[in-house]
């Protein structure tokens, strides 16, 4: 019998066009009721830009599969691409990155996902549009060690139920859930079977507040709130304040890994953290050890354009951990 796949990622795949805006042609404002940062450009003008960098076969789940493969796991991706040239390029890129593509479904006559990333400094605004592919779970035998579920389009609610049923029937498979924007907007009640059957769950503090409809900044309260929805282990990241993990018995805090130089692009930082943390557990690491691994890959990813170029091998990652600053340690919180 075929050996089970270690890391099976499920989610949409996209090509990202990174457009570097000229800082003399755009600016940031916060003059709005929420105080949120807004990207402002002059409407109706022809605006020069600095550069464009096109990166194929990215997206939360594709990024996670590539990260897991580079860390030494067998990684596959369940995704959909169109029959256009972008889809062909996405499929070939996944193969070139070492990802098992047997579960990639090509849909002739449909367009592949293509997003525009407006870069200003290290931050970005992404213009997204998910093609409404007809989602269905392929036959996966034997069951993988872990399913890593992330961003899908708005027609995917029945697909989520199909994935939850698969995990119920195959309890040896650990479900890892890193919800995308649409999955968060659906609400935890709509995806209650996904939450209830998740072994690992990842989000940032602001996403946890939206999921729980709670404005508290108390991380322990947010961790407990997400755990009441069903996940066994909950991980919440909080930007420069690091990340927190609650397994129901202990709560740990881990710091960010210091950037060697100013970040170039923050796209994919969350994906690299979550997938690396997951891979560490699959490789036999403890939760505190996994909490040291994740930020290293995030640090490396933000030094490059796109979400995959900076992903490290296991040897490279362990070298960073071994030579980390003395205060780079996890602590019970």
By DSSP bridging, strand 331-332 and strand 251-254 are antiparallel
The mean of the pLDDT values for the chain is 95
Cα–Cα distance, 210 to 185 (Å, whole number): 8
| Per-residue pLDDT at 102 | 97
Domains in the chain: boundaries:
7-14+57-113+131-332
Please list, in sequence order, all residues whose beta carbon lies within 8 angstroms of the beta carbon of residue 5, skipping any fewer than 6 positions away: 74, 75, 76, 100, 140, 144, 145
On the question of pLDDT at 1 being above 80, the answer is no
Q: Which residue has the tokens 């990260």?
A: 67
Cα–Cα distance, 252 to 236 (Å, whole number): 11
On the question of pLDDT at 120 being above 60, the answer is yes
Q: Which residue has the tokens 């951990």?
A: 321
For the CA atoms of 190, 192, 193, 198, the dihedral, rounded to the nearest 10 degrees, stands at: 130
Mean pLDDT of 306-315: 94
Whether domain 7-14+57-113+131-332 has CATH 3.40.1190.20: the reply is: yes
pLDDT of 158-201, one tens digit each? 999 999 999 999 999 999 999 999 999 999 999 999 999 999 99
Please list, in sequence order, all residues whose beta carbon lies within 8 angstroms of the beta carbon of residue 190, skipping any fewer than 6 positions away: 157
Task: Output the CA–CA distances (angstroms, integers) from residue 292 to 38, 127, 131, 258, in the order listed.
Answer: 33, 32, 36, 12
- Stronger pLDDT, 228 or 34, i.e. the higher one: 228
| Per-residue pLDDT at 34 | 75
CA 73, chain centre distance (Å): 17
């Amino acid at each position: 019998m075929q050996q089970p796949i270690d890391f099976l990622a499920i989610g949409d795949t996209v090509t990202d066009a990174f457009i570097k805006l000229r800082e003399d042609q755009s600016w940031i404002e916060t003059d709005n009721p929420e105080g949120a940062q807004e990207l402002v450009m002059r409407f109706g003008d022809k605006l020069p830009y600095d550069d464009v960098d096109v990166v194929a076969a990215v997206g939360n789940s594709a990024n996670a599969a590539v990260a897991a493969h580079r860390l030494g796991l067998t990684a596959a991706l369940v995704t959909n691409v169109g029959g256009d040239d972008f889809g062909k390029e996405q499929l070939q890129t996944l193969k070139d990155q070492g990802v098992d593509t047997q579960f990639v479904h090509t849909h002739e006559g449909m367009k592949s996902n293509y997003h525009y990333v407006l870069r200003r400094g290290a931050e970005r605004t992404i213009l997204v549009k998910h093609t409404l592919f007809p989602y269905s779970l392929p036959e996966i035998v034997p069951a993988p060690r872990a399913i890593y579920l992330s961003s899908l389009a708005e027609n995917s609610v029945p697909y989520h139920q199909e994935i939850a049923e698969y995990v119920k029937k195959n309890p040896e498979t650990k479900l890892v859930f890193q919800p995308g924007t649409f999955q968060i907007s659906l609400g935890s009640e709509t995806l209650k079977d996904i939450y209830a059957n998740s072994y690992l769950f990842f989000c940032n503090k602001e996403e946890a507040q939206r999921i729980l409809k709670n404005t508290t900044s108390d991380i322990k309260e947010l961790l407990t709130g997400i755990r009441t929805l069903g996940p066994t282990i909950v991980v919440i990241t909080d930007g420069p304040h690091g990340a927190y993990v609650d397994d129901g018995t202990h709560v740990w805090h881990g710091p960010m890994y210091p950037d060697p130089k100013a970040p170039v692009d923050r796209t994919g930082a969350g994906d690299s953290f979550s997938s690396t943390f997951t891979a560490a557990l699959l490789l036999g690491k403890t939760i505190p050890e996994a909490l040291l691994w994740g930020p290293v890959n995030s640090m490396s990813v933000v030094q490059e354009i796109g979400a995959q170029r900076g992903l490290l091998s296991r040897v490279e990652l362990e070298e960073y951990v071994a030579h980390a600053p003395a205060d780079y340690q996890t602590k019970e919180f």
